[in-house]
Structure 1
Amino acid sequence: MTAKLTRLSFLALPLAATMAFGAATTVHADDWQPTSSVEFIAPANPGGGWDTLVRTSSRVIQEEGLAERNFAAINTPGGGGAVAWAQIARDAGNPHKIFATSPPIILVPLAGTSRYDHTDFTPIARLITDYSIVLVPADSEYESLNDLMEAMAANTSLSVGGGSAPGSMDHISIAGLASAAGLNAADVNYIPFSGGGEAMTNLMGGHVEAVITGAGEAAGQLGEGSDIRALGVSAPERLGGALADIPTYLEQDIDYTFDIWRGVMGTPDMPEEAVAYYENLFAEMLETDGWADARDQLGWLDAYQTSEEFGDFLDAQKEQFSEVLSELGLLGD
Structure 2
Amino acid sequence: MTTLSLKRLAVLALPMAALAMTTAAQADEWTPSRSIEFVAPANPGGGWDTLVRTVSRVLQEEQLAERNFAAINVPGGGGAVAWAQIARDSGNPHKLFATSPPIILVPLAGASRYDHTAFTPVARLITDYSIILVSADSDYETINDLFDALKENPRLSVGGGSAPGSMDHISVAGLASAAGLDASSVNYIPFSGGGDAMTNLMGGHVEAVITGAGESAGQLGEGSQLRALGVSAPERLSGSLADIPTYQEQGVDYTFDIWRGVMGTPDMPEEAVAYYENLFAEMLATDGWQQARDQLGWIDAYQDSEEFGAFLDEQKELFSSVLSDLGLLRQ
- Is the alpha carbon distance of 1:229 and 1:267 closer, same or farther for their aligned partners in structure 2, counting shifts above 3 Å? same
- Measure, in 1, the Cα distance between the counterparts of 2:35 and 2:61: 16
- For 1:136-147, what aligned pairs fall within 5 Å after superposition? 136-147=134-145
Shift of 1:24: 3.1
CA contact (8 A) 1:18 1:302 kept: no
CA contact (8 A) 1:124 1:306 kept: yes
Corresponding residue number in structure 1 for 2:309: 311
Corresponding residue number in structure 2 for 1:120: 118
Cα-to-partner distance string for 1:5-26 (whole Å, 9 max, x where unaligned)? xxxxxxxxxxxx9985454352
Corresponding residue number in structure 2 for 1:267: 265
Corresponding residue number in structure 2 for 1:287: 285
- Measure, in 2, the Cα distance between the counterparts of 1:18 and 1:122: 26
CA contact (8 A) 1:82 1:116 kept: yes
Shift of 1:241: 1.0
Cα-to-partner distance string for 1:15-66 (whole Å, 9 max, x where unaligned)? xx99854543522300111100000000000000000000000000000000
1:74 to 72, 77, 81: 72
Equivalent pairs: percent with the same residue? 80
2:49 to 45, 48, 51: 51
- For 1:142-221, what aligned pairs fall within 5 Å after superposition? 142-221=140-219
Corresponding residue number in structure 1 for 2:30: 32
- Measure, in 2, the Cα distance between the counterparts of 1:177 and 1:244: 21
Does the residue aligned with 1:24 lie in a helix, a strand or coil?
helix
CA contact (8 A) 1:38 1:96 kept: yes
- Measure, in 1, the Cα distance between the counterparts of 2:63 and 2:132: 36
- Measure, in 2, the Cα distance between the counterparts of 1:199 and 1:242: 21
Corresponding residue number in structure 2 for 1:329: 327
Question: Structure 2: which 5+ residue stretches go unaligned?
Answer: 1-11
CA contact (8 A) 1:215 1:298 kept: yes
Does the residue aligned with 1:236 lie in a helix, a strand or coil?
coil
Amino acid of the residue matched to residue 19 of structure 2?
A: A
Corresponding residue number in structure 1 for 2:9: none
Structure index of larger Rg: 2
Amino acid of the residue matched to residue 162 of structure 2?
A: S
Question: Structure 1: which 5+ residue stretches go unaligned?
Answer: 1-16
- Measure, in 1, the Cα distance between the counterparts of 2:260 and 2:321: 21
- Measure, in 2, the Cα distance between the counterparts of 1:108 and 1:164: 9
- Measure, in 2, the Cα distance between the counterparts of 1:83 and 1:109: 12
Does the residue aligned with 1:199 lie in a helix, a strand or coil?
helix
- Measure, in 1, the Cα distance between the counterparts of 2:106 and 2:16: 28
Does the residue aligned with 1:72 lie in a helix, a strand or coil?
strand
Amino acid of the residue matched to residue 182 of structure 1?
A: G
- Is the alpha carbon distance of 1:249 and 1:19 closer, same or farther for their aligned partners in structure 2, counting shifts above 3 Å? farther
- Measure, in 1, the Cα distance between the counterparts of 2:31 and 2:16: 23
